Every structure is written in C-alpha cells, then in structure tokens.
A and B are shown apart, each in its own frame.
Chain A
C-alpha cells in the first residue's frame, strides 16, 4: 500500500510527465546509438552527443523560460520570439560592423551593441505587452503582427544582406571561453534560469503571474495590477528572446535575418506544453519547461542521428505534440477516469457520487 501511495505521489507530481518524456527519448537514444553518453575532450573542449544536446538546446531553454511566463500570465503564446531573435541579432551585428557586410574588427564596442540589441528586443516585447495587456487583444493575434513584420524589420536593419562579424571575441558567446571546456551557451542558459528563479524566490512576481493567469479579473479586484504584470511578463519574454538571438548570432558569427530563430517559437511552445504546463495559463513550472526544451533538442538530435532529413523532422514533432495535448486534455482525462471507476466497480462510482 505504501509503495502504491508513493507511486501515486510520484505520478501526480508536476515533473513526472516531462521527465518521463525525456527518459523515453534518452532510452531510445541509447538503444540506437550506444555511445550516446560518451564524453571526450578534443582540443581542450568537451565533445559528445549529450554535450551537443545541452549546448544546442540553450537558446530553446532561454526562449522556453519566457514563453512559460507569457503562457502563465496571459493564457496565450508569444509567436514573435523567433522574429525578435532575428531583430536583436541584426541590430547587434549592424552596430558592430558599422554598416559593412563583413568586418574583421569591431566598429563599435561589443557591450554597446549587445545592450542596444537587448533594449530593442525589450521594445519588441513591450509592443506585444501593450497590445495584449492594454488593448486586450488575444496574445497569438497581437504577436502575429511582429511575427509578420519582425524579419522584414531585421532585413531593413541589415539592408537585406547577411552581416558577418569575423572577430574571435564575438564568437565567445556562442562558442567557448578560452581555456574553458564547456560551451558558453550552457552558462548563458543556466544564468537566465537562475536569475528568473531568484526573481521569483525573492519577489512575489511569480505568485502574481499565476494569480493573473488563473483569473485576471479576480486578481484585479483583490488589488493586483493585472495590466502591469502581463506587460512586464512580455517585456521579460522579449529580453530573453533577445539574449537567445545574440547567442544564436554569435554561433554563426553573423546576422542572417531570414534564418535566425526560424520556427523556434513553435519549439518553445512545444517545450512549455511538454513541461506539463497548461497552455491555457495559470500555474506554471519553469523546471518542467527546461526539461521539455532539452527533450525536444534530444528528439531532434536523435532524429538527425537516425538519418531523418531536417525537412522531415516536423512530422515526428507533430505526432509528439498531438499525443501530448491529447493526454493533457480534460476530456481525455475524465474519459480515462471514468474507465477506471467503472473497472473498480461500485466502490468507485459511489466515491464519485460523494465527490459530486
């Protein structure tokens, strides 16, 4: 009985579902590629499938953090994060290159460029936040504007060309710090997660976000400024998207307005759903989203290793999404519950009646 109780406790835990998903993907990986967990050191840096997954998944983790908050507070998703990434990268590279298509030295200071890029990203978030919080437009629709315009703006900034920054110190953010074997994006992702976690630990923002997401009218009546909280959340999401854009741009030491963060918004939403968060808002779980993001990255890496072409990847992702959302749906859950109570016979149904 106690074992059964323990099992029940584990299965109803918020993290059970995302961790199970990750485990399934990992087990499939180990069967398919036995050397999956091998880590070696080449040229002073770590190599291996696992490192690759964690490294490549960094941007997705950063985006998923912002997406979780947006989902929780506004009951909708921000589909403009990919475009915001492109805008941030374009602004940063354009300032660094001073308008040239390819440079081997900085024309302006790196700090200035990155800060400006983040400010622009925050402005993108603020636009979304204004439309959602103040104008009461559905999040997906409000962010559709920037989704449509974002890459156009990014191309406007870079004048339609791909701006290359061939400077070693620019490659650090997406590559390696000299002398450190661990890829830098991992640190960036950890830092972002820790800062957000600390923010929620020492302020009441996290609680407010959940409260606004569960019932924004009731929250307003008890004295919370719902509009302000939703606005702040969108700005945070924008800044995080900006950081992800900078990391991605540093990886390829250029600003490719058409390809940076392409379809990444969809992956970020998927990560939030995989993490056991309800896409209809309310309570959220950041750890779940982070695990979800790595699961998606692991899935992508696995499929690549199995010789699935990049273009064909979406089919598998679609199947995963449908399975997850079906499992999450209330109708399906109550259907399963009914099956169970039927199986246990009279006792179950009596209990059910009592509850009602």
Chain B
C-alpha cells in the first residue's frame, strides 16, 4: 500500500513547485501591467491597444521562445535563434527584392533555413554528443556571418503582397472612445494569431502526445528515460528540429513586423528568448517547463520594455538591467526550489 502511494506523492510535489513558478510569473505580469496602467494612465498605457501592441511587437519572440522552451525541457539550449532570425529576415528580403521571389517562396525559404539549422545542430548534439551550447554557438556565428555574406546593406521589403500581409489589421470588439466620441477598435496583425496558434499547438503537443511527455522524461533524467525504452537520441534530434522550424517561423513573423533585413538585426534575441523561458518557469537543468509560462515570460519582458519607453525619462539601458535583475531572481528561486526538492528526496 505504502509503495503504491509514494510515487503519487512525489509527482504531486514536482507539479506543485512548477505550478508555483508559473503562478509567480503570471502574478508578476499582472502586477506589473496594472501598476503601469495606474501610474502611466495619462500616457495611454491603460488603452486596450497598448496590450495588443505588446502582442504585436513580440509575436516573433513568442514563437522563437516556444522552440527554445522545447529544447530547454530536454536539458539543452539553442543560442543560434537570434542569428537564424537575422538570416531569415535577410534571406526573405533579398529573395523578394533582388531575386523577384514571391512571398510564399520567401516563407518556404525561411522555414527551410530554420529546419536546416535544426537538423544540423540536432544531429551534432544528439548523435555526436557535442555540448549544445558550443554547437549552437557555432550556429550563431554561422547565421550572423551568412547574413553579412548575403548583403551587408539594409534591404527594406516593398513587395506588395508581403506588405498587405504585414499591415492587415484585424479589429477586435474591444477598443476606446476618442475625444470626438468615435469608437476606435483595438487591432492586431495576423502575426499575433500565428503566434498564438503556435502556442496552442506546442502546448497540446507537450501535454497530450507521447513525444511531448518523453521530452520531459529525457530532460528529467536521460539515463532512466533510455532504460525505460525511450529513444533519447531521436527525441532530442526532433526537439532541435522543431526549435529550428519555430525559429524560422518566428524569424518570418519578426520580418513581417520590421519589414527589412540587415546584419545587426535581432542581436541578442537568443538571450531574450532564453530569459523569457526562464522567467516563465522553464528549468535550465531540464525536465520542467510550460509554454504558457513562456508566453508570460515574453509578455513580462515586453511590459518592462514598454513601461520604460512610455515613461520616457529612464534610459534604454535600464531595460537590460531590469531584465537581468528579474532573471537573477527567477534563477535563484529555481535553484532554491530545486535544492529543496533534492533534500526532500534524500531524507
């Protein structure tokens, strides 16, 4: 009887600690946003459009961070995503503007680039057992360099279909009434819908498919996962491919938002995505993570950004410091929760 009970108890414990992290993240986001709405109400922070802008600005980052969350759940990391984004933007811009390709071809090219990065990096990490940090570091170098090889000058996209995609406003039933008494509906772009769809798909995959559950098992302990009969190498390989694909897709969304390709684009985006995942409760040691948390991680980062820019007097480098402080807080929190769990297991 007691034997049967024990695993149940431990399962509950891990669940509660992860839910705890997720709740902290969501709570922090709400507190931050409400504080912004109260303090900066006169600067338009309380308008629904402000919230939509948050989604619009971060649609690409949400998709990229989702991919990173999947990789981080397996205990790996992918720091090439920022460069992949730059490469995707540049390749799309170049193919549409200089080679006369259609938007669909550019989109296919973007996804292809992402997949190619995922396959090569995944192979090196899972089958050759090279440290993921080093492999994706090389990927990061490669992506950034290739961007410069395509073109060192900025290419802005003037393709009409592309622009119509990028500027297609989807009005929402919520909105504000302006001074003249005319109702102004809040709007979002299609990128937001794609990002939210990706979120739902990833969430379903991680929660309800065999593949998703084996990702958690491998991240928790790849030795025991292997002994249980899971194909560790292949699962890791596929995780990197998915991450690469999402990086390609996220890169294209990013491109729709910026409408240009240049070498310095999306610099440091990989660190944004990693910190968003960590703030969202993904454990860097693997085995724990939730795409919903990642969404809120991105939103918290976005809120810090828009708080500081809307406020107006604080300089832009405060964004970095604030994000790093938050990151520090969450990493230490994870470490404390993690060590507590270990101690309990030991006793």
Contact = CB atoms under 8 A, between A and B. Distances in A.
Interface stretch (B32-40, B195-203, B216-224, B271-279): B271-279
A156 B144 contact: no
Contact of B271 (A148, A155, A325, A326): A148
A314 B141 contact: yes
B324 A142 contact: no
Contacts of B134: 269, 273, 279, 321, 325
A326 B318 CA distance: 40
A121 B339 CA distance: 29
Contact of A321 (B137, B144, B149): B137
A325 B320 contact: no
Interface stretch (B52-60, B98-106, B173-181, B326-334): B326-334
B135 A138 contact: no
B333 to A, nearest CB: 10
A319 B129 contact: no
15 contacts: A140-B133, A144-B274, A144-B275, A145-B331, A152-B324, A155-B315, A266-B141, A315-B149, A319-B142, A321-B137, A322-B124, A325-B124, A325-B130, A329-B130, A331-B129
B138 A322 contact: yes
Secondary structure call for the A interface: helix
Interface string A327-354: 0111110000000000000000000000
**Nearest 4 A-B pairs (CB), nearest first?**
A315-B145, A149-B324, A311-B148, A152-B320
Interface residues of B, number: 46
Of B148, B318, B325, most A-chain CB atoms within 10 Å: B148
Of A314, A315, A319, most B-chain CB atoms within 10 Å: A314
A39 interface: no
Interface of B: 77, 124, 127-131, 133-135, 137-142, 144-149, 152, 263, 271, 274-275, 278, 284-285, 315, 317-321, 323-325, 327-328, 331-332, 335-336, 339
Nearest to A152: B320
Interface size, A (range): 35 or more
Contacts of A331: 127-129
Contact of A315 (B146, B152, B278, B335): B146
Contact of A311 (B129, B263, B325): B263
Of B129, B274, B328, most A-chain CB atoms within 10 Å: B328
Interface stretch (A22-30, A129-137, A173-181, A199-207): A129-137
A318 B317 contact: no
Interface of A: 77, 131, 135-138, 140-142, 144-149, 151-153, 155-156, 160, 266, 269, 273, 279-280, 309, 311-319, 321-322, 325-326, 328-332
B152 A309 contact: yes
B149 A149 contact: no
B337 to A, nearest CB: 12
Given A152-B317, A316-B145, A280 B138 contact: no
A310 to B, nearest CB: 8
